[in-house]
Amino acid sequence: MSYIQIRNLWKEYADQVVLERINARVNKGDFITIVGASGCGKTTFLKMLLGTESPSRGAILLEDAPIPDEPSQQRGIVFQRYSVFPHLTVLKNVMLARELEHSPLLGKLFGSARRTAKQEALAMLEKVGLTAAIKKYPHELSGGMQQRLAIAQSLIRKPAILLLDEPFGALDPGIRADMHKLVLELWKQHQLTIFMITHDLKEGFLLGTRLWVFDKPRHDPQAPGAFGARITYDIPVGQSDRSLYQKIDQQLQVTQELTMEGNAA
């Protein structure tokens, strides 16, 4: 039995089909990177996994039950931006999850419980390499440090599924490579199931265990919203070659141009 099943999933807004007939099975521990032209419903799909959007048709099943339709501690998330709390220092950003867990009324811990939470947060911050910055506020951190903080903050609550929405899109290539290493390490260590959206196809070929390509196989130039995107490729990472990369890259570019033309018309 699969961990996550996606059954005939559709998402439509008014006259626009965003996703159509998505079917997939995901095993525990899969690391799926999702690529696709912009406007192909990648983020919408992630939001449905997160529970902030609901499917128009079909369902996402998590261990055979419909996935909860609001965010929960089962599914951690790192957005491209705004993922950390600007009013808390680095240390407190990470401690927050523990405080919320153990103090339902005040959301704050004191005494020995606080010390335990602090130790745990410090250990997590060490893993992501932020030990030197624990007293800083997020606005004092670079983009890469903020994203590492966001990851640490998500992982301390030990989610089963980690959702990453272009987490490294705004980072420099050098820092991106460091972050890839970090994510792969944490994925193995915490036995996570990861869905990561990226618009960098190279990143998709490099990270994780599976690559999904979201693309629109059909286009109607008169009605750009008539057909939605589907999963056009589901490839095991590491077994693909250069020609496949180029083929997918080409197709995504075609879709991108068609979408732009559609929007312009």
Interaction site with another protein (CB under 8 A): 50, 52, 70-73, 75-77, 79, 81-87, 96-97, 99-101, 104-108, 137-140, 150, 153-154, 157, 159
Could you tell me the smallest distance in angstroms from the CB atom of residue 103 to another protein?
8
Could you tell me the smallest distance in angstroms from the CB atom of residue 91 to another protein?
14
State which residue, 58 or 71, has the beta carbon closest to another protein.
71
> Which residues lie across from 211 on neighbouring strands?
33, 235
Give which of 144, 183, 155 is closest to 93, Cα–Cα: 155
Could you tell me the smallest distance in angstroms from the CB atom of residue 113 to another protein?
16
State which residue, 87 or 242, has the beta carbon closest to another protein.
87
Could you tell me the smallest distance in angstroms from the CB atom of residue 34 to another protein?
19
Query: What is the C-alpha radius of gyration for the chain, rounded to an integer number of angstroms?
Result: 20
State which residue, 140 or 249, has the beta carbon closest to another protein.
140
Could you tell me the smallest distance in angstroms from the CB atom of residue 79 to another protein?
5
* Distance from C-alpha of 194 to C-alpha of 74, rounded to nearest angstrom: 12
Give which of 177, 212, 230 is closest to 33, Cα–Cα: 212
Extract the tokens encoding 127.
């893993």
* Distance from C-alpha of 159 to C-alpha of 264, rounded to nearest angstrom: 42
* Distance from C-alpha of 157 to C-alpha of 172, rounded to nearest angstrom: 28
Report the 10 Å Cβ neighbour count for 241: 9
* Distance from C-alpha of 130 to C-alpha of 149, rounded to nearest angstrom: 7
Q: Which amino acid is at 49?
A: L
Extract the tokens encoding 107.
């959301």
Could you tell me the smallest distance in angstroms from the CB atom of residue 133 to another protein?
14
State which residue, 100 or 237, has the beta carbon closest to another protein.
100
State which residue, 7 or 108, has the beta carbon closest to another protein.
108
How remote is the C-alpha of 102 from its chain's centroid?
A: 27
State which residue, 39 or 76, has the beta carbon closest to another protein.
76
